[in-house]
Structure formats: C-alpha cells, structure tokens
Structure 1
C-alpha cells in the first residue's frame, strides 16, 4: 500500500465515519472483548494508518471523485473561500478593511463614553459651560459614528457569511443520484476491503491479544545452555573448593 496516499479534505469525515461503523460491527466488537485494546485505541490506529488503508479502495475513490468533479462542472467553485477573504483581496491588501471595521466602532464608543462622562460631569459641577457643551456634542457624535460603523461591519459580515455558504461544498443530499451511488460504492469497498481486514489484523496481533494463561503477551527468554557449577560434585576440580587433588 502507498503510505503517501491522501484523501481530499472533504472526504476525511467520510473515512472517519466508515471507520466508526467498522468498529461497531459485531465481528470487531467480539474481537475487542478478547483483546487488550479498547475501541478508542483501535480508532486511533485506524486514523493513523488512514493513507495506506484508503489506498486499497483507490479505484472506487477515483471513480467517485471524478464523477463528483464532472457534476460540479469541473471548476473549483465548490471549494470554500479562505477565511481571510477572496484571493483578489489578499493580493491587493484589502485585509485592512475588516480590521478597521472592528476597531472603529470600539474606539468610537470608548471615546463617546469618555466625552459624555466628562461633559456631563462638568455640566453638573459648574453649569452648561461651552466646554461641557462641546464635550457632550463630541460624545454623541462619536456614539453615532460608532453605531454607523458597527452597522456597516455587520452588513459586510453577513454578506461574507452568505458568500461562504453559497461556495461551500454541497451536502450529500443535494448531490446527484449518480454521485451518491459512487460514494456508497467507495464507502462499502473502504469498509469491507480495507478497514475490516486492517482491524482484524490489529486485533489478532500477538501484542494485542492476551495469552491463554491470562497474562499479557511479552518477550520470551530462553535459559542459556549451561547450568551453575555443582560444588558438591567430586567431578569439579579447582583450588580452594575441597576437591580431591589430582594424583601425581
């Protein structure tokens, strides 16, 4: 299997759903009951090995993606817009407008609160002086600017959300019957020919199943082919061990 195989981003959730369905089958649940792995660990292994598992159903997947692209008109209009805006905005530096749209209402409201607080404070302390009137006027003007820029920002935010929704990939229910049929064929092949064999192999490995004695499987060691010296044996000879001396 090709370890560099990759699914398209919009098809990865389908792979995860197919993996969950395979784990929930009666066969895999039965193997999990006799295994030292749990379903969460098995799912992590299935997601980690996603490229080589998905490569098994490559024929069905290519048929599905090719038919989906043909039905979409062969263009990239089904792809979602980047969060930073359209490509033209990125190239011409129009990303400054969203920043101003956020900062301007905040700064205007803060300035309005400061002007109104100081202006009305002076009016209460020393009467309606020209300075107090100017501050109050500036405060209400700042408040109006903040409200207007906030309304404009909300309008552009709503328009951007509508554009993203219109350019988002169509749901499975909105796709043509041919595309849905090809998708089901891919998911069936992915589950039966790729996911289930992989899960069986993972659960039947020696390090995943307990041994017959109930202990976890582990490395086995063999004793070396020699035994400890028999100090009481008359056949052992050596100085200082009370062994009989060799005859001259």
Structure 2
C-alpha cells in the first residue's frame, strides 16, 4: 500500500472539517442504531483524530499531489532568491531590501542615543558659571539628533505599515483564502477522496464493530454436561 505523506499541521484544520461533515453523514440517520447511541459523535471524532495518519493513507495520492502543487506555487520564481533578497510583487527579486530594513530600524536607535548623550552633556556644561561655548554646540547637536530620531521613528512606522500591507496577501494565500485555482482543485480532490475512501469507511466500520452483540464468557466457555436426575427411579 502506498504510504501517505505525513499530515502537515496546516492541513489539520481541513482534516477536521472533513471529519465533522462525515460525522453528520454517518450519525444523522432516520433510525439511529444502538451503536450510534453507545458511541457518541465526540467519541467517534476522537477515534478518527487519533487515526488521522492511517485514515489519510486512503487518499495518499491526492494528498501528495496537493502538497506538491502547493509547494510549487510557494516556491520563489527567481533563481537567485536568497535570505537577503525580497521578491517583488511579480516575483522579481529586489536585492538589498534587508539592508534598508536594518538601516531604518537602527537609525532612530542610534540617533536617539546620541541625542540623549549630547543634550545631557550640554545641559550639564550649561550649569557651569560661566558656561563654555561648547555647551551650546552640544545642545544644538543634541536637538538635531532628536529631530533625526523623530523622523526615523516615523519612517520605521511607515515601513512597518507597508510591510504589513505587502504580507497580508501572502497570509491570505497561506490560509487558502486566495490560493491559486490549481491548488484549490487539488485541495477539493483530496477532501473528496479523504471523505469517501478514508473517513466514512472508518466511521462505518467503527459503528459496525460497536453494533455487534458482545459475546459473554458463559457462551464462550465449554458447556457442562447435564447433571443426572437424582429423583428418577432406579431400575432394579
């Protein structure tokens, strides 16, 4: 038997949705059997969740196709894509994007540190009588770096906002909201195969096994021969 790929965590929610739909099909009958009364939906669901890897083997080919197609669409299109590059809106790679992020983040930190040091020294020297000329220069430089810090914070906030807006479509793609048609078709095919060949047969088999009458120990034990009737008259 072909072994199915390990069920990825991102597909666990899909498996549970298919399982919930199959549970409604398996348990919602006009005349529920005694097994359905003994095994509730919660017990059946727990059993199917524990056997997820085994059940998914029934849809091994469909699930492998889904994983392969999804990985192909997620793979960067540019051959030179690397950790220091940033794919553009059409898949092109923009080198140096990581350096810009580092500069945007470090600028307000370094400028703020310089502003605090220069302003502190400037105000301390200004308290000296008479204040030296360098105190005014330190204060001017400190206020300049304070302005640079404010501008850097605004630029960093704008960069974070732009990054969040750019990553929003990627997050929606990861959750399957705007996934490509080929991936959506592969997912639907896997759902159907998993439901029809995996989950439903498992649930029906569990119900049938629970519906079988239990065999008591008296029935399985060796029958004893009937005891003789002591009240019967003995032959002379």
TM-score range (shorter-chain normalised) is: 0.5 to 0.7
Aligned equivalent of 1:45, options 47, 50, 70? 50
Structure richer in helix, relative to its length: 2
Give yes or no for the alignment of 1:191 onto 2:192.
Answer: no
- Report the 3-state secondary structure (helix = DSSP H, G, I; strand = E; otherwise coil) of the residue aligned with 2:3: coil
Partners of 1:92 and 1:174 in 2: CA distance: 27
State the TM-score, normalizing by the size of structure 1.
0.52
Deviations 1:136-193 (A, max 9, x none): 1121111122222333333333333333234552876667999878755642432342
The alignment's C-alpha RMSD in Å is 5.2
1:98 aligns with 2:101: yes
The number of residue pairs the alignment matches comes to: 199
Q: C-alpha distance in 2, partners of 1:34/1:11? A: 22
Partner of 1:3: 3
Distance 2:208 2:146 in 1: 70
- Deviation of 1:130 after TM superposition, in Å, equals 1.7
Determine if contact 2:59/2:198 at 8 Å carries over to the other structure: yes
Alignment of 1:144-159 (within 5 A): 144-159=147-162
> CA 1:178–1:132 in 2, change beyond 3 Å: closer, same or farther?
closer
How far is the alpha carbon of 1:53 from its aligned partner? 3.2
Distance 1:6 1:107, change over 3 A: same
The 5 A counterparts of 1:1-248 are 1-5=1-5, 11-19=11-19, 21-22=21-22, 27=27, 42=47, 45-47=50-52, 49=53, 52-57=54-59, 76=73, 86=86, 92=95, 94-126=97-129, 128-167=131-170, 169=173, 183-184=187-188, 186-198=190-202
Unaligned 5+ residue runs, structure 2? 28-34, 217-236
Structure 1 residue runs of 5 or longer lacking an equivalent are 70-74, 214-248
The 8 Å contact of residues 120 and 136 in structure 1, kept in 2 or not, is answered as yes
**Does the 8 Å CA contact 2:62/2:189 hold for their aligned counterparts?**
yes
**Alpha-carbon distance, 1:12 to partner:** 5.0
Give the drift of 1:38.
8.9
TM norm structure 2: 0.54
